[in-house]
Structure 1
């Protein structure tokens, strides 16, 4: 029996004794939980927290972190590798062809810089728009909370005796070690706001957070701003982020259980027609396949929602009636419930694909767990209040579209983005062949000579023979890099058009997958599309490290912006060598001078670009990500040990070979 049918059965077949207990607890609300002074303290906490969020937006544009102030450093002398000899001596024609190839690289570098600069919105205009959007959202939150806390019903309930459920009937959430590490990290990123509410019991603080979650949902959209707000409130109330994820998961279950009871009416037929039209969209968004899975009607009886969502939350301190009241219009409209989870995700009708049809041939959201062909009930079980999308940067087999992202936990509904499958397969095969070639061994030695990649990407001068061999990987990388930019723009369009509903989206990508994220964020910034993206993690990103670019990216992300890099990523240094020295490479260095961007140096673990594919879980753990699948992480650790053993064996063979060459 699925969770939905099981949940519905519990509602339908509840015993008279249970019903009596529910009736007794049905008046449980913030008013019966908190005193008048404590409710005023709650309003103040929310006001102070939103003010901190607003200040962070301003700092993102205006403030340069003191610890990361840029310093001018003298350029290091570079060895002249243009005179290095190969097995076959060069002649005049080879030198001319080599010069032509190098000129192509310089032109590509110039185009890269120009494209990046033109993609960066004007800072002041973007700042103004970001603040206008935030102020409108913030005002709606403060008014909604004030409306509920100061409502007539709340004032009347305040005269009742406080009747909090027994702690023994409501086991306290116990954070695991990973939760504790993530909570400690979040406390540094979002310093707790001092509040008297923090001294309440755990059950009381947990109930307050649940009530706020329902109020945020009553705004008819769970914005990225709303998610970041409640995460900040959790740190101030000393509630684990893991517990908050469970709250969101339980609330999604309750909403879907209630929605499943609705009768399919005219609105459902309309939604099915919209979904059928959406399936014709050329890119084939996999999420659209389930667009009409939630029964959508013109309305949903409030008592049903109260019995479903309210009953679920009532066990932790909120009465069913209060819960339905906090949900507002969402408690009486199946259309809103469906819209929240993406029931109308296909409304784009393919218009935005017309601009990219020649460049983008493949684009789809694939569920990390299960299949797009799963039954309606199974797809319902995967639904969450927020979404996490993993984006792969190269492929050697089709399964790798989803494989690295199985470490994503189910606190957010996990998807993998399939984009340009053939281009990524071509790149993956070319990288594998290139790294195993003797040419790569030679190039790597020259890179290492340059001392932590200093100046490498300004215009690496290589002998003609090496340049010819390099073309076998340069070409597929160049093609895939261009497609990544187009895919990012399509992703931005999909999110703006609510392909994932009214839920916050987090993006995690490695290699060219990180470049898709980069392109997506810049497109969102150009279109001033705020409130969509919660957090992003760019791993080994072949994108510029220019601070203005990252400020633009930061402006459309309400939560964390994380750059993971390695100074030992020689493959990325070589592949991205045509980038201008002014822009730098994010996957090789810290992002400096941008407020709110976190950089994590993984040089000690990442010995090569291709290793990222099997390190997603380890990296997410390192940065304090809250949703990680423990079983998948253990499997990843086994694979990593095997890879590291192979690396050690290869190093021994290379040392032995070098010793023999020296003797000879």
Structure 2
């Protein structure tokens, strides 16, 4: 669709957008949402949500109730219509001539009106933004504007209440304010200022919230209630979470904030003036699969490039067992390379090494080193996943969308979290996206189909067909490699499930933490701009060159420069010549 050119003309006041639309524009505004919801939420469990959205939008644009049946027909698909006719009508509206993105801002305001930013709302906003050709950064900009509007009001109200308390006239009203207002200030320092970004939007934005302008929010309990509902009653996000009821054998389960640099080198608007410490309308939880060492930043290192949201947390869990698993991986890899090296130097094909049918005896002899840490982590990760489900269902993060990202055992945590949520009631609208990388869990289609009820946006399965370590770990189970999610695509026909083949990016399981930036960029998850700094896998060489290189390098160097997959795929001319002369 050809977009209207941006002009220097003064855009319409955002809060009055519906009042500036013609009747045809109002109808197209709602019809556009109805058609989009049919594309995104055409299932039984989202029925109440779509009906609620429709009621909110009709009231927002002040269309008569007689219009509702027509919108319901569009939403259910009984009447076929594309988005294009709606766009064509809205394109002629003078109120939208300056900037199409006004619509997105209006949607966000409607979405948070009752103190809940449903993940399905945000997916709807992103979908329409994509159809309108509007960059995703614009959504984040407007979300920060809405936060700035609301939280400034809460801060000012809290200050005035502090003064009242000195005169010994504390009331129940003050206590209600303090519960959220004061705690929020202490927990976020607070929620920050967007460098004047929201100044032109404040008065209009709060009017759209149904509060009659900024004064209404500052003078009533509604603003505090909205903040408390969006960010959680404690106001400090997940960092204040305490595990009062343990699931299974869990010994460690806490959230820490992933503090990013104040400037992230992104060539994007406002990236230099928005602190990562601000509370946002969308958060991410990042979950590692193992630990390489005991350093203070062992949980943080893989994720420093990630920009999945402006407010990101990492899950610190079962460190003792993740470290044992990580050390076992390092050792088994070094031994596997030693075995592979011997086989290559004997000109023996290494297909058996990866076949999971004829594993080398030397490698099987070391299996006990990794099997025990592996089984312990698998068992505990399922319990951690259930604990994470408890946290999300209890809305400890507030009523705002959550994106989950994890690799290896961390991906298994996410799988069991989603599975637990799917088995509960009212699990919809919490998780926006879930990214599982190298997931050591079942890839059975029916099991994954159930997870689509929980995830509003994308449920991504990143797999590597040549992940020999994952195949080796599953060798003793009844589940074949064809049944493991981290080794194969998930065969489910659903718009939410996205399979991403990482076989060209990683050579195996151990590459995931080091290549997380490139992996997420491939999945269209926002990461820090610039080179990822990934280790390049060398191309296969002739046997003479390979033998020379192998003999001249230590096992540690070999692990950094050669992958088992690369060694296995060697088809050298020298070996062919030997076969012909023998």
Band the TM-score falls in, shorter-chain normalisation: 0.7 to 0.9
C-alpha distance in 2 between matches for 1:541 and 1:261: 47
- Contact 1:524–1:556 under 8 Å retained in 2: yes
C-alpha distance in 2 between matches for 1:214 and 1:447: 63
> In the alignment, is residue 199 of structure 1 matched against residue 91 of structure 2?
yes
In the alignment, what sits opposite 1:434? 332
String of CA shifts for 1:373-431, please: whole Å, max 9, x gaps: xxxxx999421100111110011124231221222226441111111111111111111
Aligned length: 480
In the alignment, what sits opposite 2:151? 256
In the alignment, what sits opposite 2:109? 214
Within a 5 Å distance, the mapping from 1:547-566 to structure 2 comes to 547-566=445-464
In the alignment, what sits opposite 1:341? 231
C-alpha distance in 2 between matches for 1:607 and 1:548: 29
C-alpha distance in 1 between matches for 2:318 and 2:483: 26
C-alpha distance in 2 between matches for 1:525 and 1:532: 11
RMSD: 4.0
In the alignment, what sits opposite 1:401? 299
In the alignment, what sits opposite 1:101? none
> In the alignment, is residue 449 of structure 1 matched against residue 345 of structure 2?
no
CA distance 1:203–1:360, change in 2 (3 Å): farther
In the alignment, what sits opposite 2:418? 521
In the alignment, what sits opposite 1:135? 47
String of CA shifts for 1:606-646, please: whole Å, max 9, x gaps: 11211110111211111222x3222xx53xx2243599996
- Tell me the CA shift for residue 213 of structure 1: 0.8
Within a 5 Å distance, the mapping from 1:373-522 to structure 2 comes to 381-397=277-293, 398=295, 399-409=297-307, 411-437=309-335, 441=339, 449=351, 453=355, 456=356, 460=357, 466-522=363-419
Partner SS, residue 416 of structure 2: helix
CA distance 1:192–1:365, change in 2 (3 Å): farther
- Contact 2:335–2:363 under 8 Å retained in 1: no
- Tell me the CA shift for residue 463 of structure 1: 6.8
> In the alignment, is residue 266 of structure 1 matched against residue 175 of structure 2?
yes
- Contact 2:507–2:563 under 8 Å retained in 1: no
TM-score, length basis structure 1: 0.64
- Contact 2:467–2:509 under 8 Å retained in 1: yes
C-alpha distance in 2 between matches for 1:367 and 1:502: 18
C-alpha distance in 1 between matches for 2:12 and 2:360: 79
- Contact 2:26–2:63 under 8 Å retained in 1: no
> In the alignment, is residue 148 of structure 1 matched against residue 60 of structure 2?
yes
- Contact 1:540–1:564 under 8 Å retained in 2: yes
In the alignment, what sits opposite 1:89? none
In the alignment, what sits opposite 1:54? 41
In the alignment, what sits opposite 2:492? 593
> In the alignment, is residue 38 of structure 1 matched against residue 38 of structure 2?
no
CA distance 1:607–1:255, change in 2 (3 Å): same
> In the alignment, is residue 607 of structure 1 matched against residue 500 of structure 2?
no
- Tell me the CA shift for residue 53 of structure 1: 2.0
CA distance 1:229–1:272, change in 2 (3 Å): closer
> In the alignment, is residue 236 of structure 1 matched against residue 131 of structure 2?
yes
- Tell me the CA shift for residue 350 of structure 1: 4.3
C-alpha distance in 1 between matches for 2:284 and 2:501: 23
C-alpha distance in 1 between matches for 2:373 and 2:185: 31
- Contact 1:214–1:326 under 8 Å retained in 2: yes
CA distance 1:193–1:562, change in 2 (3 Å): farther
CA distance 1:591–1:450, change in 2 (3 Å): farther
- Tell me the CA shift for residue 139 of structure 1: 1.8
- Contact 1:539–1:587 under 8 Å retained in 2: yes
- Contact 1:194–1:236 under 8 Å retained in 2: no
String of CA shifts for 1:229-260, please: whole Å, max 9, x gaps: 11122123322222212222332233323322
In the alignment, what sits opposite 1:324? 206
Q: Which is further off, 642-651 or 550-559?
A: 642-651
Partner SS, residue 555 of structure 1: coil
String of CA shifts for 1:533-560, please: whole Å, max 9, x gaps: 0011111111111001110112210101
String of CA shifts for 1:507-550, please: whole Å, max 9, x gaps: 11111110000000000001131111001111111111100111
Q: Which is further off, 255-264 or 566-575?
A: 255-264
- Contact 2:443–2:485 under 8 Å retained in 1: yes
CA distance 1:292–1:401, change in 2 (3 Å): closer
C-alpha distance in 2 between matches for 1:497 and 1:620: 29
C-alpha distance in 2 between matches for 1:539 and 1:592: 16
Give the one of 108, 122, 132 matched to 1:227. Answer: 122
C-alpha distance in 1 between matches for 2:467 and 2:209: 49
In the alignment, what sits opposite 1:628? 527
CA distance 1:333–1:269, change in 2 (3 Å): closer
- Contact 2:289–2:410 under 8 Å retained in 1: yes
C-alpha distance in 2 between matches for 1:292 and 1:313: 19
String of CA shifts for 1:560-617, please: whole Å, max 9, x gaps: 1111111121111111222513961111111113423111111112112111101112
CA distance 1:33–1:270, change in 2 (3 Å): closer
C-alpha distance in 1 between matches for 2:308 and 2:498: 24
Higher helix share: 1
Partner SS, residue 533 of structure 2: helix
C-alpha distance in 2 between matches for 1:27 and 1:584: 51
Q: Which runs of 5+ in 1 are unaligned?
A: 1-21, 58-130, 153-190, 276-287, 296-307, 372-377
Partner SS, residue 157 of structure 2: coil
- Tell me the CA shift for residue 221 of structure 1: 0.3
String of CA shifts for 1:105-151, please: whole Å, max 9, x gaps: xxxxxxxxxxxxxxxxxxxxxxxxxx24x222222211111112118
